Structure 1
């Protein structure tokens, strides 16, 4: 995308920052639309119904590790979320006509889409991953995403041979009625390497064929494995 800071680029012009802001605004709003008004999913299976609750959040008893310093940029190849048995290949995706990340087709419902125009996972910034919750006939890759809890791990295998290890620090189920795109998808702490796993959630309306909310799992880099 025009004006998007490239990995390793240390500074931008004012014009570049302006274009970057516009691009990210499109992504953020588009992600909301993807999970609510414009999502055309099957709803043929009984997806996890969370309602329009505000958040799962972080249990008080969970102590989270310190953040690891950001890594050099590398593309993702696979994402693993052991607690919900997700082990999926990752493909780079762009934006659709509505400014949303274009998810993998339903024929690849077991694949996770990474926004290739944004941050590479492990580098400083927020890397965005999207996946379907279901298809017409069966659960998809992020069917159990709403069951993830703070303190659990997300591992991203990268094309430089390293595995970036992220720790979940927040899980939100955000309804479109109370939606704040920047709060949902923007960085929690500047300078950290962060990750978002996003899918549809809430309740499914068969008449409009849309979900009422997004499930947003937030995590930050806490380690690296060879």
Structure 2
């Protein structure tokens, strides 16, 4: 109990450090994330797994979660992977259509979108988000809570709350959506037993907001400007 408790304190302290760094301005935010997020999330997760002698949990579904899996419908991992990847791909298409033909984003959300000069950094953040965050939120935090005597369900719920808290810069609605997304990813992880799947799904989800929407909405704005340009 002592080691899991100490490791849980470590990863939560790293989260506090990460959240305090969010108060800085928007300039360079994506580059800051690429430095701070791995240090606050991926490194503590790997340190915890190494200390527990459980690095194999990155590719082997932990037995601590098997009781929770038994409560869910039995499904082949390949079916879960194909269905969820198809769903996210369809979601990206919907995002593109909304960006092209829908209403502009509210001002609060527009502030979160990358400026044209930030899009390369934003794309890198989208690609790295799953790699950096999923080992912590869908594996290490639930595992530590479970090892400390909580159920796996409580572990995944607690991890989703911490995940939502990490997105507090998005406001209350954004935190609620992030927490719900975390629970969906947790369910898909438990169903499939494959951490790589939620890593990919997380990256694709972020690509919708940070890559697809800005690119399509920017192209729409450019086309609109060209259409009204005086001769």
Q: Normalization by structure 1: what TM-score?
A: 0.35
Q: Choose between structure 1 and 2: higher helix proportion.
A: 2
Higher relative CO (Cα under 8 Å, sequence separation at least 6) belongs to 2
- The structure whose Rg is larger is 2
Q: Choose between structure 1 and 2: higher strand proportion.
A: 1
